[in-house]
Structure 1
Amino acid sequence: MASRTSSLKYFSLLVLSLAIVQMTLAGDPDILTDFIAPPNGTVDGNFFTFTGMRVLVGGGPPKAFTVLKATLTEFPALNGQSVSYAVLEFPSGTTNPPHTHPRSAELLFLVEGTLEVGFVDTKNDLFTQTLQSGDLFVFPKGLAHFQFNADSSTPAIVISAFGSANAGTVSLPSTLFATNIDDNVLALSFKTDVATIQKLKAGLAPKP
């Protein structure tokens, strides 16, 4: 398996090429200044630099599904810039469960491995694909989608670009079964019984 360093050799090219794409996907309000400075702080090169992805360089294969984000929360310089990134690491047999990004499309670039991806549109049509290293796939804004590494031996590494500094993530399993929606409402909605709903909720409860 290629080292993580070599796996990320595409990153510089990706950042440059997707900068243009993000202009077309941008969904955040336009700003009237070059950038939005922090209310209290110095604006220099450090403000425009994010070092949170350094942990990926030279590291070993992932042991669990991991998402490293560079959004407005982690990188305040993105405020008003209509762009953000995430790096997703999938060990064999792991999935990113169905979820949506309410404020942006997602442009996924598969750096290493293979990945099963799919989304469901507003007519309930399912679109799926098996991606190979070097492939890109777009998940339209706001639609439920998923990713799954079905390979039994090789991890998958993904870089995702968003046309918003804060695309937001709504996890469908967590939203439905790890909140306080009434069990009876869920049982009726899914045409099952309350006991089944309670089992689903128990499986999604935070581990002590």
Structure 2
Amino acid sequence: MATAGDPDILSDFIVPPNVTNVDGSFFTFTGLRTLVTGGQPITNFNVSKVSLAQFPALNGQSVSYAVLEYAAGTPSPPHTHPRASELLFLIRGTLQVGFVDTTNKLFTQTLQTGDMFVFPKGLVHGQSSYDLS
């Protein structure tokens, strides 16, 4: 049997060696602002990742973030995240989501704007957009 996961850190947070001044800005990521200030209509499936590479304050926190933008009719193929659950929050439109548990039971839901959904760690899941109005 094999297991994987992030080790617990022995401090509140980890400061990279090149950072000398830790204040509130260290814990702030501003790279997603363009997603909420308007822009071009969504025509493709786009992913904006926020992981340790983009946001060093995540080091040791066992969390990352991604914003997925779907054009109508665009699916996200079935996939898994073996080391973490995925929490999804729908900002706009309608999204069909689903996962299969370890007994092969399918769970599906049609999300509306403002809904949140969790995909449990390690389970096959996917989603598809039908309406971005």
Give the TM-score of the pair, scaled to structure 2.
0.85
SS, match of residue 72 in structure 1:
coil
Per the alignment, residue 73 of structure 1 pairs with: 53
Residue 113 (str. 1) matches residue 93 (str. 2) = yes
What is the rounded CA distance, in whole Å, between the counterparts of 2:45 and 2:28 in structure 1?
26
SS, match of residue 56 in structure 1:
helix
What is the rounded CA distance, in whole Å, between the counterparts of 1:32 and 1:43 in structure 2?
20
What is the rounded CA distance, in whole Å, between the counterparts of 1:54 and 1:89 in structure 2?
14
Amino acid in structure 2 at the alignment position of 1:90? Y
Q: 13, 34, 52: which is aligned to 1:55?
A: 34
Q: 116, 122, 127: which is aligned to 1:142?
A: 122
Per the alignment, residue 99 of structure 1 pairs with: 79
Q: 49, 64, 67: which is aligned to 1:87?
A: 67
Amino acid in structure 2 at the alignment position of 1:42? T
Q: 22, 43, 63: which is aligned to 1:44?
A: 22
Bigger Cα displacement from structure 2, 52-61 vs 109-118? 52-61
1:151-162 alignment, distance < 5 Å = 151=131, 154=132
Bigger Cα displacement from structure 2, 27-36 vs 104-113? 27-36
Amino acid in structure 2 at the alignment position of 1:93? G
Amino acid in structure 1 at the alignment position of 2:21? V
SS, match of residue 127 in structure 2:
strand
Unaligned 5+ segments in structure 1 are 1-26, 156-208
Deviations 1:98-122 (A, max 9, x none): 1111111111111210000011112
After TM superposition, what 4+ stretches of structure 1 lie above 6 angstroms from structure 2?
A: none
Aligned length: 127
Give the TM-score of the pair, scaled to structure 1.
0.56
What is the rounded CA distance, in whole Å, between the counterparts of 1:122 and 1:144 in structure 2?
9
What is the rounded CA distance, in whole Å, between the counterparts of 1:96 and 1:141 in structure 2?
17
What is the rounded CA distance, in whole Å, between the counterparts of 1:43 and 1:72 in structure 2?
18
Higher-helix-fraction structure:
1
Q: Report the identity percentage.
A: 69
Unaligned 5+ segments in structure 2 are none
Amino acid in structure 2 at the alignment position of 1:55? T
Task: Let me know the Cα RMSD of the aligned residues.
Answer: 1.7
Deviation at 1:33, TM superposition (A): 1.4
Bigger Cα displacement from structure 2, 100-109 vs 28-37? 28-37
Q: Which has the larger radius of gyration?
A: 1
What is the rounded CA distance, in whole Å, between the counterparts of 1:93 and 1:107 in structure 2?
21
Deviation at 1:56, TM superposition (A): 0.9
Higher-strand-fraction structure:
2
Deviation at 1:48, TM superposition (A): 2.2
Deviations 1:65-115 (A, max 9, x none): 111121222111101122222211111111111111111111111121000
1:159-198 alignment, distance < 5 Å = none
